[in-house]
Structure formats: structure tokens, C-alpha cells
Amino acid sequence: MAGNRTFTMIKPDATAAGNAGAILKMIEEAGFRIVAIKKTKLTPELAGKFYEVHKERGFYGELCAYMSSGAIFPAILEKDNAVEDFRKLIGATNPANAEPGTIRALFAKSIEANAIHGSDSDENAAIEGAFFFAETERF
Ligand code: UDP
Ligand code: MG
């Protein structure tokens, strides 16, 4: 059975552009409850750790530099079928391929600076949520 939590980050491009509020409004209006959220900034080392699964990919170095270039809003979200429904709400990795009306179609600047992260599995949602939040910070 699909789990009811996912993990997201509003990335540096969308945070710097002042789009965090509009994006969080879309997330809440789509039926997700915010379980935990904060504003923070990753070091290149922490970004590297978060994206370790991509370390063999050509874009890894640039991705770590970009993800540590400015403030982000990590958050844990709750809804039935959370992982799959949230991936639908954010749209394809490359905004050029994202469905109209999705968060990436509306706010992403490029395939790298694509406004928002969404976990790809229940297992990764749990790992990624634990990367940023203790159990006592989830409400
Ligand atoms: N990314 C990139 N170039 C690519 C593919 C991905 O810079 O060719 C970045 C982009 O920010 C993406 C992140 O790496 O969101 C993680 O890639 P993944 O394939 O997991 O995409 P996602 O799950 O975020 O849609
Ligand atoms: Mg991914």
C-alpha cells in the first residue's frame, strides 16, 4: 500500500524569486498537509550527501553547487498516496516537458533550477525527511 507522506524542498531558484508562498499555497490547495517545514541553507557537503544517489551522473557537481547557492524550504507533507500525487503536482524534471499547470511548468527556470524537489518512493521520502527533521519537529 502506498504511504501517506512525502518530502519536498522548495529549491534556491524558487525561494530567491519569492515564489515559496505561491508554491506552498498550491501544495495546500492540492490537499497536502504540512507536517514539518523550515527555511535553511545547505552547504555543498550537505547537498552532496542529500544527492549521493546521483554522484555518478554528469550533473552532480553543478547540482550540489546550485543546491547550496541559496536558501531552501525543506518540508514533510501528508496526503493519501503522497509520493505519486506529489510527483504529479510538480511535473517532469525538465520544465520543458512538465504538464501545464504543474509547479515546475509554472515556476522552474531550467532542468537544474527546477523550483522544487519531490521524493520518488516511500522509502526515500522517509530517508529524506529524516535528513532535515527530527521526530519531535513533525506535527
Ligand atoms: N538535474 C540536472 N540535470 C539533469 C537531471 C537532473 O541538473 O539532467 C537536477 C534537477 O535539479 C533534478 C535533480 O537533479 O531535480 C535530481 O534529478 P532527478 O533525476 O532525481 O529528478 P527529479 O526526481 O528531481 O525530477
Ligand atoms: Mg529524483
Ion ligand 2: residues, Cβ under 5 Å = 120
How confident is the model at residue 44, as a pLDDT? 98
pLDDT in tens, 98-120: 999 999 999 999 999 999 999 99
pLDDT in tens, 59-99: 999 999 999 999 999 999 999 999 999 999 999 999 999 99
Q: Is residue 109 within 8 Å of residue 13, measured between CB atoms?
A: yes
Closest ligand 1 atom, residue 92 Cα: 25
Instruction: Name the amino acid, one letter, at 66.
Output: Y
Ligand 1: list residues with CB < 6 Å. Answer: 54, 59, 63, 93, 111-112, 114, 117, 120
Q: 19: domain range?
A: 5-137
Q: How far apart are the first and last CA of the chain?
A: 23
Q: Other CB atoms closer than 10 Å to residue 106's CB: what's the count? A: 17
- The C-alpha angle 87, 92, 98, rounded to 5 degrees, equals 115
Laid out side by side, the sheet with 116-118 consists of 33-37, 73-78, 5-10, 116-118
pLDDT in tens, 24-37: 999 999 999 999 99
Rounded distance between C-alpha atoms, residue 18 and residue 33, angstroms: 21
Q: Other CB atoms closer than 10 Å to residue 40's CB: what's the count? A: 11
CATH number (domain holding residue 102): 3.30.70.141
Domain count, the chain: 1
CA torsion angle for 69, 48, 132, 40 (degrees, to 10)?
A: -10
Instruction: Name the amino acid, one letter, at 78.
Output: E
Residue 1: band (very low, low, confident or very high) from pLDDT cuts 50, 70, 90: confident
